[in-house]
């Protein structure tokens, strides 16, 4: 005889119900972790490129043996290209989507240092999040900034 106990009948479908309740939370968690990892990747790329640009500018900013810092337009342009495109010629696609040389600033705060600043508007994967019970959707875009100051060599 193959009988189903009364307790077994009451337990049918519980696993499916638990999945229906927990699946949206798990999917939301996966999207949140993915978005956070994407933001971290973009910030890391921006800070690494800014550091490389500051190193390039610090190595090429002094003129002769007098040790004076000279920020000529060609070196500033090459530094911007290195930061945005990853090379001094400016060939290829930007390292980050939508990044331009207008987001890079090269200055000399004093007689022996160069400062390179870069900003980037974070581009989220999902765009905006809808809000519950009406209201404006949440925009996940924000500005990232990186500044590196190095002593000119």
Low-confidence residues in the chain, pLDDT < 70: 1-11, 63-67
pLDDT of residue 10: 67
Please report how the helices 73-85 and 14-60 are oriented relative to each other, as an axis angle in degrees rounded to 10. Answer: 160
Return the pLDDT at 149: 96
Beta strand 68-69 with 104-107 is unpaired
For residue 28, what pLDDT is reported? Answer: 85
Q: Tell me the pLDDT tens digit for each residue of 95-106.
A: 999 999 999 999
Distances in whole angstroms, Cα of residue 36 to Cα of each of 26, 58, 71: 15, 33, 37
Cα(91)–Cα(13) distance, rounded to whole angstroms? 59
Mean pLDDT computed over every residue of the chain: 87
- Locate tokens 């640009």: which residue? 53
Task: Give the per-residue pLDDT at 90.
Answer: 93
Q: What is the pTM of this model?
A: 0.79
Domain definitions of the chain by residue range: 6-151
């Amino acid at each position: 005889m193959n009988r189903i106990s009364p307790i077994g009948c009451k337990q049918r479908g519980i696993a499916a119900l638990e999945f229906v309740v927990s699946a949206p939370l798990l999917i939301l968690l996966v999207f949140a972790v993915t978005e956070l990892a994407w933001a971290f990747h973009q910030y890391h790329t921006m800070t690494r490129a800014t550091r490389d640009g500051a190193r390039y500018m610090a190595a090429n900013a002094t003129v002769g043996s007098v040790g004076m810092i000279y920020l000529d337009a060609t070196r500033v342009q090459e530094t911007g290209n290195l930061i945005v495109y990853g090379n001094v010629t400016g060939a290829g696609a930007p390292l980050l989507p939508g990044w331009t040389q207008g987001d890079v600033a090269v200055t000399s705060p004093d007689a022996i240092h160069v400062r390179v600043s870069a900003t980037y508007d974070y581009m989220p994967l999902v765009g905006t999040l809808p809000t519950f019970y009406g209201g404006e959707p949440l925009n996940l875009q924000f500005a990232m900034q990186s500044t590196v100051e190095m002593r000119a060599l």
